[in-house]
Structure 1
């Protein structure tokens, strides 16, 4: 009898490798694994910065009045409290919101993931800039404790310092930008954007109570940033830059998962990646996202006698039906 043919082992192995790679590619396309991997990478980078990186030490002069402020042993908002305000508080709000309203796995996942990425990305960027710039803090001389005989009217280096506490001394060159400010705005700023989207604060004639609730996290973040001026840890330039950096990162992270705040669907995240891969395809979904972000926005023309033609919630077909009904009543 003739012997049946068998595929060469090498070919079977290559087919298996191709199947594994295809499965892995499909998994990455249908899930948020890449985002979680990016978050883990940011966490590793942040840990390495804290453990092994020292700031650049700029030269300074003892007669520079801008760095002669006292060193506050007790901060108004310690680091651990700032983490509580900027990270734990928004996380608790999201968990409570998910338990009460049960928005679904996808919406809960992208909301919390966006917060995590916002906080971690802002922290890493801030620390990278801090250590690269090496700007002295307003309390540098009090930290340094320069030895006697140090010339007062010429530039000196860190070598004149007698402070033995490593962190206290080297942290004196991490003034720009403010880490407290960037962290609190990246977390509380993200929370403010989320609340604004869920409550449709840019809807025409929205009530003031919703606006104030959405602004509350930003006011809290501003107060934390101001406390750094009161403690003489930063100047206004440091705090302003850190606040802008944190808010920009928060907006970037929020918009990766949610449409703009002027969209009628601002309370609903973009479709999940599983939906992208299984139904419409990337091209069509990019067009859908562009439509949600640009054309499908609120305007005063959508109001009639103080009431919107289009409901806040519902399908696109319902919204189109409402729009048609509004136009026919006007005619």
Structure 2
């Protein structure tokens, strides 16, 4: 029994605390650097908001599935029997664990991989973000740009591989965690930014809406100014002939008076 759960209990190659540093704080530093260069507060605000939404939603989904499924980890045997002596119930043949309760409980959270889902949620969002900023889909065939976009995904994949190598997850756990993180990252990015292949994919939707509103207001103001100027020109044109006729009548009256005097 438990033949596929007898892998050794090893420490994590990537500690739990390192995942948010790599997948969240690291991308945020890149967001700030781009803000310093571009000075677009809309971009910084929505980039940080988007990645926080991505990892938060992914974390909630991952933990909910972990608790619902309860799949044992590959090293569950050594969690259940720290001394290596397996104990089973003679009647039900059920496992009688005598390890620490917290260690055993953690051993039932194999599916899906939290390290993997979080890594792909944060670094996947960063890949989307970089793809939009460096216009990787501009149809010019820049391989270097594509490498920059793939690099965060490669880091996330390395973290996922380490989970299998440490015997903390089965390959199905890692694969599913990567899909969850990638899907959530894509949805969250497209919620705040246009697709990177879009002509306006450089800035978030809020910035584009702000620019559009300013342009509309500017066009409206210019149109009103033209209407006002046209009205003023029309009023001036209407007054000039009246003054001309008045001047002509006055000249005729003066001529008649002078003729009478003669």
Residue 227 of structure 1 aligns to a residue whose secondary structure is: helix
1:241 and 2:176 aligned: yes
1:90-129 deviation per Cα after TM superposition (whole angstroms, max 9, x unaligned)? 1111112212221x22121111100100011101100000
Change (3 A) 1:149 1:210: closer
Matched residue, 2:124: 189
Superimposed CA distance per residue, residues 251-304 of structure 1 (whole angstroms, 9 cap, x where no aligned partner): 01000011112211111211359859x889xxxxxxxxxxxxxxxxxxxxxxxx
Q: Distance in 2 between matches of 1:179 and 1:124?
A: 10
- The equivalent residue for 1:228 is 163
Q: Indicate which of 75, 78, 88 corresponds to 2:25.
A: 88
Which runs of no fewer than 5 residues in structure 1 stay unpaired?
1-62, 281-331
* 1:186-235 Cα shifts (integer Å, max 9, x gaps): 00000011001111111112311111011100000000000000000011
Instruction: Give the deviation of 1:149 after TM superposition.
Output: 4.2
**Residue of structure 1 equivalent to 2:62:** 126
Q: Counterparts of 1:231-270 in structure 2 under 5 Å? A: 231-270=166-205
Query: Which residue of structure 1 lines up, in the alignment, with residue 108 of structure 2?
Result: 173
2:38 paired with 1:101: yes
Query: Deviations 1:157-185 (Å, cap 9, x if unpaired)?
Result: 5xx11112x43220100000000000000
For normalisation by structure 1, the TM-score amounts to 0.60
Equivalent pair of 2:2/2:77 in contact (CA under 8 Å): no
The CA distance in 2 between the partners of 1:257 and 1:213, in whole Å, is: 21
2:163 and 2:92 mapped to 1: Cα distance? 29
1-structure distance, mates of 2:58, 2:210: 30
CA change 1:120–1:155 in 2 (3 A) is: farther
Determine the C-alpha separation between the residues in 1 that align with 2:204 and 2:90.
59
Question: Measured at CA, do residues 245 and 152 of structure 1 come closer, stay the same or move farther in structure 2, by a change above 3 Å?
Answer: farther
Larger Rg: 2
Higher normalized contact order (CA 8 Å, seq sep 6+, divided by chain length): 2
Give the equivalent residue in structure 1 for 2:248: none
Paired residue secondary structure (1:259): coil
Secondary structure (helix, strand or coil) at the match of 1:256 reads helix
Instruction: Provide the C-alpha distance between the structure 2 equivalents of 1:170 and 1:195, rounded to a whole number of angstroms.
Output: 39
Is residue 5 of structure 2 the alignment partner of residue 67 of structure 1?
A: yes
TM-aligned CA distance change 1:261 to 1:141, over 3 Å? same
- CA shift in 2, pair 1:145/1:273, >3 Å: farther
Whichever structure has more helix as a proportion of its residues is 2
**TM-score, structure 2 normalization:** 0.75
Deviates more, 1:76-85 or 1:226-235: 76-85
**Counterpart secondary structure, 2:145:** helix
Tell whether 2:97 aligns with 1:161. yes
After TM superposition, give the deviation of residue 153 of structure 1 in Å: 11
How many angstroms apart in 2 are the aligned matches of 1:275 and 1:197?
Answer: 19
State the 4+ residue runs in structure 1 displaced beyond 3 angstroms: 146-149, 151-155, 272-276
Partner of 1:78: 15
